[in-house]
Amino acid sequence: MVLYCFFQGVSYCGVHREHQAMEIFRTVSLEKAPALFRMSRAVATLMFVLPVVVLFYQYKGLSVGDFFLIQGIFAFSIFLLEVPTGYIGDLFSRKMVIVASFLAYFLGYLVWYLFDGFFFIFLGELLFGLAAALYSGTSEAYIFDVLKARGKEHGFLKEWGRVNTWSIFATALATFAGGVIYDRMGPDAVALLQVIVTGTGLMMTCFLPDLPDVRRVVAEGKSKWQDILDISKYAASHAEIKWLMLYPASFGAGTLILMWGLQPLMEDAKIPVFLFGLFAGLGQLSRMAFSHFSHALFTRLKTNRFSLLLFGVLVAGFIVAIVLPGIANAFLVYALLVAVGFAAGSQIALRIATTSMINHRIKSDERATVLSVNSMFSKAFTGTAMIAMKFMIDGWGMQATFAVSAIVILALTGYALAKLLRLRIA
């Protein structure tokens, strides 16, 4: 309700002051909007803290278990905010919502830079959760409708692949540098860099053009909460959309376990801190490759073979993660860490493909809400997985944690995959 009132107020100012609210800057054309969006997102995702985030938590006074607990709470905060924020993206200016998302990221990193302790790290993560919720459905809807306004909506899969490729490339560059910066200049320097780059990305989003013609008009006499519920029920019960949401949701929980499990695995293997950025960066490069080739892979393999291929990659990733803590040979450990990072990166290809298929099955004025329902499914799975990891790692150790996670995640993912395969959709 607070968010709704905020956007209602800004929208009112925009109507009555003609370009003086969010249109302070001269915006670019619709033709150039996708490129500017890619650049702003890439700048904001220069995540120097990523390869050393567990160490950063420890520097701020938290434990490894606290990290996984907060990551789980972070995912659930997005889960709770996803649909209301997505609906805001259908009711109000999608550009405005994207700007608010970047602002929340900026404020989160500013809190991390200025303060120590559990509360402030947690507050930063809540701001990141709000930012991710505002961004997820609305950003995809914004790009799809920018393309649709130019009659090029069938190019969404390729364009969204580009957005993710640029972002992941930026993250990869930052992760290669992050470990070295942390080791040589300290954690505060890493946090300050995050404040600078997210602030730059925020400024760039102000130049994006708006799309007022795609805003949702609620039927007279119908409450907005009922409208949200109706759209959500439609998405969750749709014969195809529900499995296009559930399969990547459970799959994504598995790859997130592998991604965040990399740092504890490296600590357990006594990998030097300055190399954390190298392995995290290689993992990001694998994500970039999956993102870049997602369109070509999907076009060649189609839904069923594409989904089966990625499931095989996830299975292999879990097997490697389970056996890795028992390996003594340093060279083999390094090779297996790269393999775990490669498997963790596979999720992006599945998310891009399924998001494209969902987009072609929904209307413009419900697009951000439906895509937020999609993200909500994902965050429900990942939030549960991250919180469970806190207690499993603290009580059982890395090897047992990966083994139990593999059994649960692969069973759920396999079930969702089987349902999707039976649909035989393009």
Domain contains 266:
yes
Q: What is the mean pLDDT of residues 240-246?
A: 93
Domain contains 192:
yes
Domain contains 9:
no
Unique residue bearing structure tokens 């907060």: 70
- In the chain, % of residues over pLDDT 90: 30
Instruction: Pick 331 or 76 by higher pLDDT.
Output: 331
- pLDDT per residue as tens digits for the range 214-228: 667 777 777 877 888
pLDDT of residue 213: 63
* Cα pseudo-dihedral 311, 336, 59, 287, rounded to 10: -40
Residue 22 has pLDDT above 50, yes or no: no
| Total domains in the fold of the chain | 1
The winner for highest mean pLDDT among 142-151, 360-369, 373-382 is 142-151
- pLDDT per residue as tens digits for the range 270-303: 888 667 777 777 877 888 889 889 888 998 998 8
Average pLDDT, the chain: 84
Domain contains 19:
no
Q: Which amino acid is at 156?
A: F
Residue 103 has pLDDT above 90, yes or no: yes
pLDDT of residue 18: 37
Residue 8 has pLDDT above 60, yes or no: no
Domain contains 404:
yes
237 and 367 Cβ atoms separated by less than 8 Å: no
- pLDDT per residue as tens digits for the range 296-351: 899 899 889 999 999 999 999 999 999 988 888 888 989 998 999 899 989 999 99
Question: Which token pair is 310?
Answer: 């990625």
Q: What is the mean pLDDT of residues 405-426?
A: 91
Domain contains 302:
yes
Full domain range(s) for residue 257: 29-210+221-423
Domain contains 409:
yes
Residues 372 and 377: their CA atoms lie apart, in Å, by: 9
Residues 25 and 352: their CA atoms lie apart, in Å, by: 31
Q: What is the mean pLDDT of residues 204-213?
A: 84
263 and 54 Cβ atoms separated by less than 8 Å: yes
Q: What is the mean pLDDT of residues 27-43?
A: 90
Question: Which token pair is 87?
Answer: 């609906």
Residues in Cβ contact with 289 at an 8 Å cutoff, skipping those fewer than 6 apart:
345
**Nearest 5°: CA angle at 213, between 219 and 225?**
35
Q: Which H, E and C letters describe 311-355, residue by residue?
A: HHHHHHHHHHHHHHHHCCCHHHHHHHHHHHHHHHCCHHHHHHHHH
The alpha-helical segments, DSSP class H, found in 206-240 are 224-237
Q: What is the mean pLDDT of residues 400-414?
A: 92
Whether the model pTM is above 0.75: no
Instruction: Pick 4 or 407 by higher pLDDT.
Output: 407
Domain contains 327:
yes
- CATH of residue 128's domain is 1.20.1250.20
